[in-house]
Structure 1
Amino acid sequence: MTANLLRLPSGSVVDGWHVSRELGNGGFAVVYLVEKNGKPYALKVARHRDASGDDKQTHARMVREATTLLMLNHPNIIRPQGHGYAETGNMYVALEYVDGWTLAEWKERKHPTIHEILRVFVKLASALSYMHERGVLHRDLKLVNVLIRKSDGEPIIIDFGCATYSLAEDLTEEGLPPGTERFRAPEQFKFLREHKNEHRARYAFKVADEIFALGVMLYELLTDPRPAENRPRIAPNNPLMPPPPVRRVNPRIPLALSELVERILSRDPSQRPVDTDALRRELEEHLERSGAEYMVPAHAPSEQWPSEPSGVGGPPGVPSNDLRSRKVATKTLAAGAALVVALTAVVTFWRVSGDVPSPIPDHSAPPMTSPLDMSLPSPAPIVLPPATDVGQKEGSTVKMTTPEVPTQERPTRVRNKVSAAECAGLSLVAALAAGCPSSQIRPESFTCPAGAARAMVNELHWEHLDRFYLVLDDRHDREGKTWFTPGSEVVGVVPKMKGLDRRQLEVAPPGTRFYGKAYYLKKGFDGDPSLLVRYDRVKLPGQDEQPICFVVEGRSYGFKDGRVQASNSNVGTVVERWP
């Protein structure tokens, strides 16, 4: 067991808390289900201890989280039950255990009415207003950070790992505070663009940011029948392409409510409700005057997963042929949304504004696609079909698929005339236009993010164009050739062997692990695509993970079923940009 990545096995005891199992883990902490005096609790343990060279300051964040929770006492906010230190020195906070669903799971399982969704958000706004009156900002509101308790349906705000309060020490070393990209207000990205060359610039998180995040949550519940499902969706904070109004996506939503959500998600913070108490009052007014149109499920049960207990078929009284027609229509409209997402991916595939300060990476979830960088050309206007299924679960890993678009709406394509090898040689824009599957698209160029550049120089002591030998995928032998699937995650490792040069032995010794993804690069020597692996994180033996920019380009020896064959050992390069 290491200090920086604590793992408590089942049966362990920490200050009388008996560990049952792990509930989840993130970049800052690991959460366990524990038992004490016959009652269940959640135990959140910092991933680093105070004296472990904690570059993410997870110990300090745990201290601040405990301090924040002790300032709060609200029925819709998770309650602390104690705090202390494990034997390894890692700080922990004990919390009440909430047996419930995340907001997204609740929406899918219980098929709530519009009225029931509004009731939940009135309580969330009330809890946030209580927090804000005490100078506390959550800073990471999202669907998975609100639980709906199964016993009484009450919403509970959880995970205050990113929270702060008035006069708290600033733990952020990047431009933005830690958080989830999809729920950040657009003005945060505007701040990064305007201060891209000011490394000391820090964004001042405000109540307006919290209101926007709550608006994203409400938008997704009202527009997405399956918000917990992993699939591509339009970024709601995209500065060049605001999300379509709720009512256009879902005609079931009353116009007045749709207009309120549109105002909450305004690109202009001054157009949003002035504070969370004002938002609570507006939501309550909708509840008070809600009529029959608010008493129906936000989406037809036929569009959602079966409720609990599992049901069969659609709602009573609806003929089965009508249900089939409705499903076909939904599928067609979803295809239109998928096309929009594919076009959006043209400018969001890589975060090209790499020289701006980046937020602290949240490794508790797969990486998110960033909103558009204003330095990119604006895409052509896109008209969304009504009732389109949009929105994206935070932290989801997305695999783009070719949408099924009806013949009369299908854009001109030459997919049948373009070989897989030719697809691999195209840029992202050209490949999408040619109808190539996304897995055959090579990565776009990128500039190394400022955080990674600093870590390589200050922490790793790497230099531009340093070259290190490694095994590209540690699941396979060093000798011989390996089949790589584009888009798949790979973990490389420096092997123990003779012949490594002195420079590598000093700064990337045996046991160093590289984390990244494999991609097609271009047409190879024999007309087949060759391989590129981009590693964006590294962990040296006995040290913490660091962000990096490191690429390996390898010759291909075969191409079959969308995979490329290449040597599993090669030399990679430290880069400032690629290509």
Structure 2
Amino acid sequence: MTATLFRLPSGTVVDGWRVSRELGNGGFAVVFLVEKNGKPHALKVARHREASGDDKQTHARMVREATTLLMLDHPNIIRHRGYGYAETGNMYVALEYVDGWTLAEWKERKHPTIHEILRVFVKLASALSYMHARGVLHRDLKLVNVLIRKSDGEPIIIDFGCATYTLADDLTEEGLPPGTERFRAPEQFKFLREHKNEHRARYAFKVADEIFALGAMFYELLTDPRPTEHNRRVSLNNPLMPPPPACEVNPRIPDQLSELVEKILSRDPSKRPVDTEALRRELEEHLERSGAEYMVPAHAPSEQWRSEPSGVGGPPVEPSNGLRPRKVATKTLVAGAAVATALAAAATSWFVPGDIPALPPPPHSSPPTTSPPDMSLPSPAPMVLPSATDVGQKEGSTVKMTTPEISTQGRPTRVRNKVSAADCAALSLVAALAAGCPSSQIRPESFTCPAGAERAMVNELHWRRFDRFVLTLDDRHDRNGKTWFTPGSEVVGVVPKAEGLDRRQYEVAPPGTRFYGKAYYLSDKMGRADGPALVVRYDRVKLPGQDERPICFVVESRSYGFKDGRVQASNENEGRVVDRWP
């Protein structure tokens, strides 16, 4: 299927989005500048339909990208404005439009102080902490995937074409997940070397990889006076040779800040901040105690490139192979929304007009084994996907597109299209949860117990199969109330100090025993006759005064509500010892 099947001429109306012009045309999607209610937005249209024989799975990638954006709502993350289908059946996502610079352009044009750069990275770490808490990994953080909005200087993370999340399907057949070589953590290359003869080996992208990428961006802004230019650069992720300290490359960088950057870029992931929230705190501490040495531009303006926008072409873009293209003078009116889930890019690099940066290879995802587990999407009964769900639009309406086919009276005609049940199932999953709809599912896959669990439970803990213990499911909340659980999130349960515990529990799982696991949502279609349930799988336990041991312990709890992708359930319940969970 060629791009001509969904090239939308100026004046085309798609579910109320009126096309102004094309912004960018990449290997997997086309992005248009559109207008609705007098405001600019961006419309990204997939190149292929579901049934078009697309071996690159651009349709599936668009479904995943849209679902990812529906899970997020943060001031420093690009926002979706709707989704639906064009007349040809090609899926689209509508996005907010950001008038701003890429992070690299902002550095060159605005000559920010070290304090201002640090402030931006505090906000980026905060956005990533929020994102990771919801089970989302961006997987392609780099300078062109952050915009600085001109109106208020706020950083906006864009381009979720490579992102993955707790429910994402596996779309990749490669060893490494999609991304840009320069910003990959060194352990990814180590993995490739160690598993070069294993065709099925897949690297599990982690929060530590995301932290390294953010550190690489930080290092480049602090050390490179012209980050948009095609310059030879020292490798940031050589497994054996770390880059020189930032303060050696640029004497303006304070020693303490340089040490923090060095820590973030450590070859050993265990020496980096433990998560993005810890990173945010460290960056914020530096910001709060920053002195006069932080109030100067990171580089003297004379060292940086100054050029008036030419009004033509796009910003410098960073190809997915990690090399930088030649420098291009730009008109920096960035369609941030377009780049937000922006153009899932071709495997080879390309330039995009209208300030749309080139993106990395398509989001083939390996099963993530970060804090959120890998879970497959369910297949609910057929339903109709809501039409471009712009804010407040009612679910269940038909998906339609308006194309200006001029009739004999000179008026445009309207064409309606319906959506397949499979697409609805995928897209409505997060949308329904966010709207509080209990018909969606976030289910665990079958699994076997952790290695050594059976031996530990029988020989060391003296547990028997189907032993039942009472515990507080999440010790951060009151055990007597109802608690909101985020499916895929880590939880720590604890046996309460309360009367009424079974005598056997006092002997083998006494008060103070801590259970470590993850929460899931189980629908009534998986064998429960009394309605939906929260399921918590605990795979580790620590009895008071003893070492941690692997286990297989499951709690099922009736759910009382759904909101923002979370499930409400009683925080105290009884679980059971199992040998596996179907």
TM-score by length of 2: 0.53
Q: How far has the Cα of 1:256 moved from its partner?
A: 0.5
TM-aligned CA deviation for residue 51 of structure 1: 1.1
- Taking the aligned partners of 1:366 and 1:91, their CA distance within structure 2 comes to 22
Equivalences for 1:463-478 in 2 at 5 Å?
Answer: none
Shift of residue 240 of structure 1?
A: 4.0
Q: Which range moved further: 40-49 or 26-35?
A: 26-35
1:151-187 C-alpha deviation (Å, 9 max, x unpaired): 0000001111111111321111211111111111111
Deviation at 1:366, TM superposition (A): 5.1
Alpha-carbon shift at residue 395 of structure 1 (Å): 7.1
CA contact (8 A) 2:26 2:345 kept: no
> Counterparts of 1:191 and 1:361 in 2: how far apart (Å)?
25
- Answer yes or no: is the 8 Å Cα contact 2:216–2:265 preserved in 1: yes
CA distance in 1, matches of 2:348, 2:128: 24
Are residues 27 and 144 of structure 1, via their aligned partners in 2, closer, same or farther at CA, if it must alter by over 3 Å? same
Aligned equivalent of 1:124:
124
What amino acid maps onto 2:10 in structure 1?
A: S
Task: Check if 1:67 corresponds to 2:63.
Answer: no
Aligned residue in 1 for 2:49: 49
C-alpha RMSD of the superposition: 2.5
Task: Give the Cα separation in 2 of the matches to 1:136 and 1:179.
Answer: 15
- Secondary structure class of the residue paired with 1:132: helix
Alignment of 1:165-244 (within 5 A): 165-244=165-244
- 1:257 equivalent in alignment to 2:241: no
- Rounded to whole Å, the distance in 1 between the matches of 2:25 and 2:118 is 30
1:178 aligned counterpart, secondary structure: coil
Q: Distance in 1 between matches of 2:212 and 2:231?
A: 22
In 2, are the aligned partners of 1:264 and 1:272 still within 8 Å (CA)?
A: yes
Sort the Cα spacing of 1:139 and 1:309 in 2 relative to 1 into closer, same or farther, 3 A.
closer
| 1:526-548 alpha-carbon deviations (Å, 9 max, x no partner) | xxxxxxxxxxxxxxxxxxxxxxx
What is the match of residue 275 of structure 1?
275
Q: In 2, are the aligned partners of 1:148 and 1:155 still within 8 Å (CA)?
A: yes
Q: Secondary structure at the match of 2:20?
A: strand
**Distance in 2 between the 1:81 and 1:292 partners?**
42
- The AA in structure 2 aligned to 1:217 is M
How many residues were matched structurally? 323
Show the counterpart of 2:457. Answer: none
Matched, 1:142 2:142: yes
Q: Distance in 2 between matches of 1:361 and 1:151?
A: 28
Q: Distance in 2 between matches of 1:89 and 1:125?
A: 38
* Residues 358-373 of structure 1 mapped to structure 2, 5 A cutoff: 362-363=346-347, 365=349
Q: What's 2:23 paired with? A: 23
Partners of 2:243 and 2:27 in 1: CA distance: 30
1:176 is aligned with what amino acid?
A: L
Identity rate, percent: 86
Give the equivalent residue in structure 1 for 2:284: 284
Q: Residue type matched to 1:148 in 2? A: I
The 8 Å contact of residues 111 and 301 in structure 1, kept in 2 or not, is answered as: yes
Distance in 2 of aligned mates of 1:308 and 1:295: 26
| Alignment check: 8 A CA contact 1:183 1:216 kept | yes
8 A Cα contact 1:25 1:364, kept in partner: no
Partner residue of 1:154? 154
Q: Partner of 1:216: helix, strand, or coil?
A: helix
Secondary structure of the 1:210 match is: helix
Asked which structure has the greater RCO (Cα within 8 Å, sep 6+), the reply is 2
Tell me the SS of whatever aligns to 2:93. Answer: strand
Give the AA of the match of 2:79: R
Corresponding residue SS for 1:293: helix
Name the counterpart of 2:110. Answer: 110
Q: Which residue of 2 aligns with 1:301?
A: 301
Which structure has more helix as a fraction of its residues?
A: 1
Partner amino acid for 1:121? Answer: F
Superposed CA offset, 1:313-357 (max 9, x none) = xxxxxxxxxxxxxxxxxxxxxxxxxxxx9xxxxxxxxxxxxxxxx
- Distance in 2 between the 1:195 and 1:138 partners? 24
Q: Deviations over 1:514-533 (max 9, x none)?
A: xxxxxxxxxxxxxxxxxxxx
2:203 is paired with a residue of what secondary structure? coil
* Structure 1 letter corresponding to 2:123: K
Asked if structure 2 preserves the Cα contact closer than 8 Å seen for 1:4 and 1:47, the reply is no
TM-score by length of 1: 0.53
Counterpart residue type for residue 173 of structure 1: E
Alpha-carbon distance between aligned partners in 2 of 1:293 and 1:309, rounded to the nearest angstrom? 31
CA contact (8 A) 1:3 1:52 kept: no
**Structure 1 residues 25, 274: closer, same or farther in 2, change over 3 A?**
farther
Structure 2 counterparts to residues 506-517 of structure 1, below 5 A: none
Structure 2: which 5+ runs fail to align?
Answer: 311-322, 324-343, 352-356, 365-582
